[in-house]
Structure 1
Amino acid sequence: MLRRRFWAAGALVGLSLTVSTPVGAADVREEQRWVLEAMNVEQAWKTTRGAGVTVALVDSRVDGAVAELRGRVVSGPDMGSAQQARGRPGAAWHGTAMASLIAGAGKGSGGLLGIAPEARILSLPLVLRNGTEDRAGLPEADLRTRADSPLARAIRYAANHGAKVVSMSLGAYGPHKAEREAVSYALSRGVVLVAAAGNDGTSEYALDNATSFWNFPAGYSGVIGVGAVDSTARPAPFSSDNLSVLVSAPGVDVPVVTPGGAYGSSEGTSSATALVAGVAALIKAKYPDISPHLVAQALTSTATSAPADGYDDHVGFGVVDAGAALARAGELVNRAAPATAPAVKHFGEGPLPQEPARPGPEPFRLWLYGAGLLGGLLAFGGAVVMLNRRSEQSVPARGEPVTGQGRPWP
């Protein structure tokens, strides 16, 4: 048995891949049944399997030659890296595993099925820097003060190249201005963003403070942050707990496809994120114009295994139910649509009322107003004439004495 530990961007989000003796396609289908049942996926498949939707996967490279993904993976440009991951065995392992959970289409009568088996994958390779497994205290210094961000470039590229959903099983400590702006840009274009909450649940800091450091992009407003649960819907011990967790999905012993076509099992909020991204793809396939916030509302309002108080920072609002979320999305879309009625229809019975006459001038009132105005002008003119005449009569002739003075007028 070969066990390999991977850490995605920012040394936060991890994925454990356990690759054992190769199993057959039928066997892996049986092994993944609990995942599909936990998320009620087969109910959603009665409506859609994700056809017509592209999911951008911001992760390591994807092996598009594996049978489950053949012909449905488009590789975008390398988004770059702040620091190349050191000692990371197999650069395509993580990306291939996540892609299989989102859009695996099986092979023949078996093979692994993703949540949206008819969706397409836009692979956007991105590695930020190497992680460590001995993160006991505060997060190490992060090079996140620069103006540019590889993740921001990836999000914008996805939004500009037809992606309806972006899956990000990666993260870093602390927000970044360029990433926050890219998130807002993608949301404004109707793109659903899904990101892992992180795997710091058992770190020394989390155990001492009953909370985990926030992981970004999961911590950005509008991004659907995902935690991990096990087969009994209990929070996975490693899953980060903070208020960025919106919903949860299976993240323990989840079967995946690895490069070359072998099968393995995964552990981490990475795999939970990919599964939720697949559900978002199903919703977008059925309702292409649904807004990201309504997708999030559909996921949260129908989640199963919800906490007693409705929400907690371990599992969010609960485990995503694909079938119920898809149905709720339809209700929300219909509720948000403006109500319209044909022009010939109206409420009630009987004929439509006659349109009231438009207001206009009344001749009698206009005549009365004009006569009053003319009378006022004549009266004013007459008064002026009378005052002038009186003034002329009161002025004495030249040489005639002026009343009250003892000498003649000069």
Structure 2
Amino acid sequence: MRRFFNKLVTGVMVATMAFTALAPVTTMAAEASFDCDHPAISRYFTKEPTCTEDGTYDKICSICGVTLEKGLTYKALGHSYTEATTENGKVKNLLCERCGKSIDFTPTKDEKSCKHDNVITVNAKNPDCENDGYSGDEICTDCGKVITAGSTLTHTGHNFIKGSIIEEETCTTDGKCYYYCDNCGEKKIVTIPASHKWNEGTITLAPTTTTEGKKEFKCTVCGATKTETLAKLSTGTTIPGKDDKKPSTSTTPSTPGKDDKKDSDAIPIKETLSKVGTKYTVGGNKYTVTKAGEEVRFSKANAKKKSITIPATIKVGGVSYKVTEVGANAFKNNKKVKKVVIGANVSKIAEKAFNKCPNIKTVVIKSTKLTKKTASKKCFSKVNKKMVIKVSKKSKKTYAKIFKGFKVR
């Protein structure tokens, strides 16, 4: 244990040392108490070398931290002329990137006869989040001609990602959160607007073809309420999809008579909402009401679509319905569909819901409400053998058992 601890401490210490000529370190290395044959040697600078002056360093083992030799000389780095000033397409001065020394450029060859065999790039600068960069100029070090002028490299801007929360927002007060730039590390504080967490709402007054309805929502946190107006029902209850050639027909919700108009506020909800069994067509898919004003079953898929999404809810005539089931034979003989997304409110999938779908390859299940009693591998009958069922990480273990025999990821 002690040996492991010594190695760990030494590793952390050595990792922070400067192993290049540009990074001086002033802390002495600690010697380890375990046997080491010193397979990796590193420089430990006690004096930083410059362009014109030598530096000094010690040789240490980067594994155990033992100092092997002290006071060794590291030769001066010399100037690094990677920047230049130009005038009329020719180099005028060269600048050292380390110390900033400037020297006049003296050509060694005539520009007309020079073949430009020695070309370097100067003045290159990488862009950062806020400042543009420069690709650099290509110059000939023999005659000083600017072979190719550089161009501006546009800065990318910050890429802020969400960090730690400073203060949680509530229903009535704003919160605060840190955001960090993934590129440069700059941080900023972002206000998180206050917001209620509304439930799905309850219809307190059902809409009719002549009167608007009302729906009340309640905050699940603080209990505050709000009311929304529901639009009047249209004359027909079917909503044709874009791909339907002919609109399907369905039972029309009951409408109050002339003598009921004055007392519309007193109309019982059950009498104005569509009855169980009423059929709707939305987006080319067919739905059947299973609970008046609240829930529907996905009963028949659009046979022309390659990708079909069973939504969490649908809205018909101002009334929202949860899609809680996928009916038997909903996708029977559907040879077009390749991908299906099942919404978060689905709690039941009937046997053979996906029956004879040879080309279906992916089924994404967003719902976490399925159980062994409400779904099984029998939901998929005669489907593509390579079909993959994608679920949330939370549901993977449970759904792998429910749909045993299929690939669940």
TM interval, short-chain normalised:
under 0.3
- Higher normalized strand content (fraction of residues): 2
Q: Taking structure 1 as the reference length, what is the TM-score of the superposition?
A: 0.19
Higher helix content, 1 or 2:
1
Higher relative contact order, chain-length normalized (CA < 8 Å, sep 6+): 1
